[in-house]
């Protein structure tokens, strides 16, 4: 999670904490494919030919899992709190979903979990609409984001009059 102050707006960028970059993931996958196919081919040449199709299926499943994980790492939620409105964008390569709320009529709510082992839900509500934020965040991160958003959203929020904050990563 990162936050910045830009031209009368406070911007929060939320993204999942997935460590590997796509190029690194691709290099590791190619290395695994080379090693696996070398071993499978040597067994096939020794007469154990059924190993090849199973190795192929295994490598396809691993490739699909790595792709899904890498794609999930590109997900972003961007919340911009301006003087008069709140813009929320969610998407992978760019904004796929967008919400715009009037800041005065909005509230930030951290809904407690239904059961002890469930996570809480951070929601911005305005005039009957609501948007959940940071479902992928840990509980302490979600609480900290909720406090930050409550400070700058709503009729009593200080919004853009707040001094510029430091960027922070977690």
- Of the candidate ranges 22-26, 59-63, 70-74, 97-101, the one whose mean pLDDT is the lowest: 70-74
Does 166 have pLDDT greater than 60? no
Domains and CATH numbers, the chain: 2-16+75-161 (2.30.29), 22-72 (no CATH)
pLDDT of residue 18: 77
Q: Can you read off the two tokens belonging to residue 157?
A: 């929020």
Q: Can you read off the two tokens belonging to residue 147?
A: 């406090």
Return d(Cα 70, Cα 66) in angstroms, integer.
6
Return d(Cα 90, Cα 85) in angstroms, integer.
17
- Average pLDDT taken over every residue of the chain: 84
The string over 106-135, giving b where at least 16 C-beta atoms fall within 10 Å of a residue's C-beta and e elsewhere, is bbbeeeeeeeeeeebbbebebeeebbebbe
pLDDT of residue 133: 93
DSSP annotation of 164 reads P
For residue 84, give the nearest of 67, 105, 114 by alpha carbon: 105
pLDDT of residue 1: 62
């Amino acid at each position: 999670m990162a936050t910045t102050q830009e031209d009368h707006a406070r911007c929060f960028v939320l993204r999942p904490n997935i460590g590997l970059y796509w190029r690194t993931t691709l290099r590791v996958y190619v290395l695994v494919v080379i090693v696996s196919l070398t071993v499978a081919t040597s067994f096939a040449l020794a007469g154990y030919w059924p190993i090849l199709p199973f190795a192929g299926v295994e490598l396809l499943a691993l490739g699909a899992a790595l792709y899904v994980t890498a794609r999930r790492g590109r997900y972003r939620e961007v919340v911009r709190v301006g003087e008069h409105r709140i813009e929320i964008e969610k998407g992978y390569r760019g904004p796929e979903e967008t919400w715009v709320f009037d800041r005065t009529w909005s509230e930030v709510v951290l809904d407690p979990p239904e059961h002890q082992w469930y996570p809480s839900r951070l929601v911005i509500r305005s005039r009957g609409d609501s948007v959940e934020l940071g479902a992928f965040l840990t509980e302490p991160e979600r609480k900290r984001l909720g406090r930050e958003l409550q400070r700058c959203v709503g009729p009593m929020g200080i919004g853009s009059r707040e001094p510029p904050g430091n960027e922070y990563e977690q």
